[in-house]
């Protein structure tokens, strides 16, 4: 009978430990249950700044999909908090009243962001920067407010400030020291970084001690101890983290700063272990990813009764890109005692390099602007290898010209680490290339985990691929790690081979993972429906959960429901129904959306089908990869400036293309005059009325990465508008990659190509619209289908994976 292992925390450290355990045969020994407070699967917190900068979304930073839990027989409880361990009865207690039996427990509870105990810290608009919800709050705030103040000039604070700049906010960074990132940089390096950040638009208030946050309900100002103030619509505290040892404390387990552990990550209770930011080992608490991975390996060994290797602490280092500036810092970077340093500075190029030595060994280094030698220096410090020659020769050897013809990776031994975060050596990567057929950076990551954390080692992985494979190295953008094929190659194969089902695609095209993953399955399902609209039966289990439910999961595990209001127009009957439903199901919040609709927020999962049935309104597809809204102004009938019937055209467009599946969400707008009150210039498709004509804009984006739409053409009639945008949408459906917005697709293929295809060849428009009509002909309202066949409700809500969810 398997032992019961409960992991408290669904974050990076805990799940990585489980992965290490499974690699050592832990499947056979343990029945694993994971309990996590957040509603999400395990994701990469290191890349939160990428989400804030709109360089990635939630799906991009997921580390383990729901399929991973299913395939490994891991029971997952999300949106649930462990409150205590009953160590006598050996059960884990949760805030949902569950009692989960255990033989062993891993506490991987992470840390809490430290919030300064200032007057006003509880005001609306004062937040931390710690999880995906914080990113979402900042993104939403930037839509309505202009001035942000970030308290904390460390790495996290600067990343938050950079993201807020990208969102169009004015940003000031407050720091109590007189230079930035004092834990990773010396003054010279920090000044180079500060100059670059100021050139990007960031402002700094150094040597400032915050005294209070002032406002009435919402933050308005930040006051400092020197009596000065600065205006603020948003305050982000990024001043550090504290180990989360609440469960251990409540359970009588020894804690200090963190949960006290020995060299095998064992706590004062022999059946309870701790790993990650919550653990304190030999008086140290680690907040960087590499030490957490090292701890996970030791703990996995211990759980398999292998105690040959101890955890003896980690060399602290940071290798990252701070707002576009490459930065590396390791070990002792300040000269002290008998340490000496040698450095070089090129202020014109923004490059600074410094090596610190003690005796005949390197003990620390800082690289700014060019970090190509970082891996060599890190491995030399970890190994404690003596250097030869004078310090100046050492500097020239390791910090020489980057164009000397010798790549940094070629200077590493097979034992040297390429991926410090995940502890993957050069030899392990070469072995994966030679024996497992890895031909791309993504392949190497899937086989070895190299590059899956901060990603700064990916250029070195690419260099290794080039060295080992030469011109056969595959750097194309594959659909995911399950295949070597690109999106375009998969679509071509579906057409050429007549493939009609997801499993058939995977089998015929040689998928590496039998069941695929959360990236490729939805993409394949979309491509099959696009290529074979009349034959393909939509696979609900291959859609994201929000699309299956036509409701968007919220941070507390409830759902948001948005009924469609064509062109933003409603009537008293619809409003009464919405009000009645909100009262009947105790909906806590009704919110007017930016798409001119009403959002019912806080609907319980079990109530979603009944809410839709009683609303008796079409789904607004506010969560789908489909047409979401057609925003309109009031138009010529009411507005004294209006030149066209914007409402009539907007409703016609929305009724024609509603429910249409597209590679990504599509938003449209129709404005009756160039004053553009419906914001047509920043939509995927925007129509603007001018005297006697309509202008059609494409590829706009009003999100964090603002992009103005390109003027594609001008036409005279509403019929021509429908013809042009029908052809445009079908071309986008057929040629864009799944999850590629029109803004990115237009930039990738070029506006000239789209114009030539659609405008210079009328026969193309005709054929594309015929295929569009074919695709539209099979679309039905999913809630009508479900209400007519109640048995489908079970199918809709079935997760299709062996995962227990408690939202």
Residues marked as binding for [4Fe-4S] cluster?
633, 639, 673, 677
Q: Are 74 and 42 in contact (CB under 8 A)?
A: no
Distance CA(59)–CA(652), nearest Å, equals: 33
Beta-strand pair 259-261/126-128:
unpaired
What count of other Cβ atoms lies within 10 Å of the Cβ of residue 592? 10
What count of other Cβ atoms lies within 10 Å of the Cβ of residue 467? 14
Q: Residues in the chain, how many? A: 807
What is the Rg, in whole angstroms, of the alpha carbon atoms belonging to the chain?
28
Residues annotated as binding site? 633, 639, 673, 677
Distance CA(644)–CA(631), nearest Å, equals: 15
Question: Who contacts 636 (Cβ-Cβ below 8 Å, separation ≥6)?
Answer: 642, 643, 644, 645, 646, 672, 689
Looking at residue 737, the DSSP 8-state letter turns out to be: P
For the chain, how many helices (H) and strands (E)? 28, 36
Q: Are 660 and 780 in contact (CB under 8 A)?
A: no
- H helical segments located in 24-168: 26-29, 48-52, 58-61, 66-71, 132-144, 155-166
Distance CA(479)–CA(509), nearest Å, equals: 12
Contacts 24+ apart (CB under 8 A), 246-253: 246/109, 247/8, 247/82, 247/83, 247/84, 247/85, 247/107, 247/109, 248/107, 248/272, 248/274, 248/278, 250/83, 250/84, 250/85, 251/84, 251/85, 251/86, 251/87, 252/87, 253/85, 253/107
Q: Are 664 and 527 in contact (CB under 8 A)?
A: no
What is the four-CA torsion angle of 236, 239, 242, 246, rounded to 10 degrees? -30
Residues annotated as binding site for siroheme? 677
Beta-strand pair 325-331/361-368:
antiparallel
Beta-strand pair 126-128/75-77:
unpaired
- The tokens describing 655, both together, are 């009724």
Distance CA(219)–CA(336), nearest Å, equals: 43
Half-sphere exposure of 557 (CA within 13 A, CB side): 15
Distance CA(194)–CA(190), nearest Å, equals: 6
- The tokens describing 438, both together, are 């890895």
Judged by DSSP in three states, 475 sits in: coil
Question: Who contacts 99 (Cβ-Cβ below 8 Å, separation ≥6)?
Answer: 86, 91, 92, 93
């Amino acid at each position: 009978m398997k032992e019961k292992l409960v992991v408290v925390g669904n974050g990076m450290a805990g799940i990585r430990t489980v992965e290490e355990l499974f690699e050592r045969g832990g499947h056979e020994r343990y029945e694993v249950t994971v309990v996590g407070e957040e509603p999400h699967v395990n994701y990469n917190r290191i890349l939160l700044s990428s989400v804030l900068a709109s360089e990635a979304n939630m799906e991009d930073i997921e580390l383990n999909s729901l399929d991973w839990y299913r395939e490994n027989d891991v029971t997952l409880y999300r949106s649930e908090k462990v409150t205590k361990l009953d160590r006598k009865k050996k059960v884990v207690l949760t805030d949902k009243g569950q009692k989960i039996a255990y033989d062993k427990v891993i506490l991987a509870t992470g840390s809490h962001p430290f919030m300064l105990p200032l007057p006003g810290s509880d005001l609306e608009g004062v937040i931390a920067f710690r999880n995906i919800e914080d990113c979402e709050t900042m993104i939403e705030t930037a839509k309505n407010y202009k001035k942000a103040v970030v308290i904390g000039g460390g790495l996290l604070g600067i990343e938050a400030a950079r993201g807020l700049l990208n969102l169009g906010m004015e940003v000031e960074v407050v720091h109590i020291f007189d230079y930035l990132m004092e834990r990773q940089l010396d003054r010279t390096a920090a000044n180079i970084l500060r100059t670059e950040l100021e050139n990007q638009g960031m402002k700094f208030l150094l040597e400032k001690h915050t005294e209070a946050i002032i406002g009435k309900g919402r933050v308005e100002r930040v006051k400092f101890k020197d009596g000065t103030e600065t205006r603020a619509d948003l305050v982000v505290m990024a001043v550090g983290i504290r180990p989360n040892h609440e469960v251990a404390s409540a359970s009588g387990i020894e804690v200090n700063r963190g949960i006290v552990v020995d060299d095998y990550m064992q706590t004062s209770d022999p059946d309870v272990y701790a790993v990650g930011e919550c653990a304190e080992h030999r008086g140290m608490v680690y907040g960087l990813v590499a030490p957490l991975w090292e701890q996970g390996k030791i703990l996995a060994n211990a759980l398999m009764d292998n105690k040959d290797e101890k955890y003896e602490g980690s060399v602290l280092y940071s290798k990252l890109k701070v707002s576009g500036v490459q930065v590396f810092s390791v070990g002792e970077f300040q000269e002290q005692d008998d340490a000496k340093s040698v450095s070089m500075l090129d202020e014109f190029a923004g490059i600074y390099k410094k090596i610190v030595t003690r005796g005949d060994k390197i003990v620390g280094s800082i690289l700014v602007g060019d970090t190509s030698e970082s891996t060599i220096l890190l491995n030399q410090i970890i190994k404690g290898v003596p250097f030869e020659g004078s310090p100046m020769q050492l500097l020239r050897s390791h910090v020489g010209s980057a164009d000397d013809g010798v790549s940094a990776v070629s200077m590493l031994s097979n034992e040297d680490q390429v991926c410090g975060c995940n502890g993957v050596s050069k030899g392990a990567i070469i072995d994966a290339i030679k024996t497992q057929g890895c031909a791309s950076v993504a392949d190497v990551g899937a086989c070895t985990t190299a590059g899956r954390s901060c990603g700064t080692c990916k250029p070195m992985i690419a260099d290794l691929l080039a060295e080992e494979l030469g011109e056969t190295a595959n750097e194309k953008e594959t659909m995911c790690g399950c295949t070597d094929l690109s999106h375009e190659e998969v679509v071509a194969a579906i057409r050429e081979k007549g493939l009609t089902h997801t499993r058939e695609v995977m089998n015929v095209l040689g998928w590496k993972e039998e069941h695929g993953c959360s990236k490729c399955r939805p993409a394949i399902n979309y491509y099959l429906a696009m290529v074979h609209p009349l034959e393909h039966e939509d696979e609900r289990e291959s859609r994201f959960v929000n699309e299956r439910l036509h409701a968007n999961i919220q941070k507390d595990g409830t759902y948001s429901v948005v009924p469609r209001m064509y062109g933003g127009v409603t009537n008293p009957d619809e409003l009464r129904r919405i009000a009645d439903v909100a009262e009947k199901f105790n909906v806590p919040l009704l919110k007017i959306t930016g798409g001119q609709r009403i959002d019912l927020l806080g609907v319980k999962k079990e109530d979603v089908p009944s809410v839709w049935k009683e609303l008796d309104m079409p789904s607004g597809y506010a969560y789908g990869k489909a047409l979401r809204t057609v925003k309109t102004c009031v138009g010529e009938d009411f507005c004294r400036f209006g030149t066209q019937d914007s409402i009539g055209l907007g409703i016609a467009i929305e009724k024609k293309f509603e429910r249409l599946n597209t590679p990504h969400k599509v938003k449209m707008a129709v404005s009756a005059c160039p004053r553009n009150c419906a914001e047509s210039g920043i939509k995927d498709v925007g129509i603007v009325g001018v005297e006697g004509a309509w202008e059609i804009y494409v590829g706009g984006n009003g999100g964090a990465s603002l992009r103005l739409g390109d003027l594609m053409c001008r036409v005279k009639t509403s019929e021509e508008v429908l013809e042009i945008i029908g052809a445009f949408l079908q071309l986008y459906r057929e040629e864009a990659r799944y999850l590629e917005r029109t803004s990115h697709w237009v930039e990738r293929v070029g506006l000239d190509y789209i114009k030539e295809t659609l405008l210079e060849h009328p026969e193309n428009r005709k054929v594309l619209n015929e295929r569009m009509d074919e695709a539209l002909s099979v679309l039905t309202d999913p809630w009508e289908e479900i209400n007519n066949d109640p048995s489908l409700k079970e199918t809709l809500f079935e997760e299709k994976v062996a995962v227990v969810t408690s939202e």
